[in-house]
Structure 1
Amino acid sequence: MKKNINNFYMLVDALFLKIEDNLNLYDNHDIDIDYEIQDYVMTITFANKSVIIINKQELLQQIWLATTVNGYHFNYRENEWICNRSNKNFWEIFQYACSVQSNKNIIFIKNNIN
């Protein structure tokens, strides 16, 4: 089990870094996105004060995404985080949520994103 937990943390770390990299692309644009990470909880705040929260669920080995519209749970399978209800990948849902909540067209870099 310890090996699985270590792998889970490596996957979560990689995901959080890719999220940060993508959010940082909008630093110099007219889209106001702030974020902070504390204890594997990422809080993303938009100019309109709406919030997206991403966190890990260690026991379930899932990533949870909470938006103003819905909550999503993702399992890692076939080299990507997949929603356990819709079977959509994390990036599809996250990009859409960021676009809706910022009221801007947000496009994340898809190269090597899992």
Structure 2
Amino acid sequence: MTDLEYQDLAESALKAIETGCDRINEKTDADIDNQRTGGMITLTFSNRSQIVINLQKPLHEIWMAARAGGFHYKFDSGKWADTKGSGEFFANLSRYASEQAGQPLVFKPPA
């Protein structure tokens, strides 16, 4: 994958997270505050816990830090897959965000 391909795919993923937060805030009382600074998004939940997602450009990865731990994802076969085989990025983000928000939340990959 070229740097440009990575940047396009990673940017689409970050935009999908931002859109997901907007949708969740409109349809639930989860009240997720999402702050973006460059290639990093910090999701802050009402209990003040956070999930931090940031781009690792030299490695062509997306990293996620949540209460459950730290995770690295590479784009493979049309999805962001955990480098240790522990699932897909958006499914895992949904699970960890749900745990931290105390209610079911769904983040969807870009269409």
Query: 2:3 aligned with 1:5, yes or no?
Result: yes
Alignment of 1:38-77 (within 5 A): 38-77=37-76
Q: Please, what TM-score do these two structures have when normalized by structure 2?
A: 0.92
CA distance 1:24–1:12, shift in 2 (3 Å): same
Superposed CA RMSD in Å reads 1.6
CA distance 1:37–1:80, shift in 2 (3 Å): same
Query: 2:89 aligned with 1:90, yes or no?
Result: yes
The 4+ residue runs of structure 1 with deviation greater than 2 A are 107-112
**1: CA distance between counterparts of 2:40 and 2:15?**
13
**2: CA distance between counterparts of 1:38 and 1:111?**
20
Q: Please, what TM-score do these two structures have when normalized by structure 1?
A: 0.89
Greater share of helix: 2
Shift of 1:107: 2.2
CA contact (8 A) 2:12 2:110 kept: no
**1: CA distance between counterparts of 2:79 and 2:107?**
15
Extract unaligned runs of 5+ from structure 1: none
**1: CA distance between counterparts of 2:88 and 2:75?**
10
SS of alignment partner, residue 16 of structure 2: helix
Extract unaligned runs of 5+ from structure 2: none
**2: CA distance between counterparts of 1:70 and 1:109?**
21
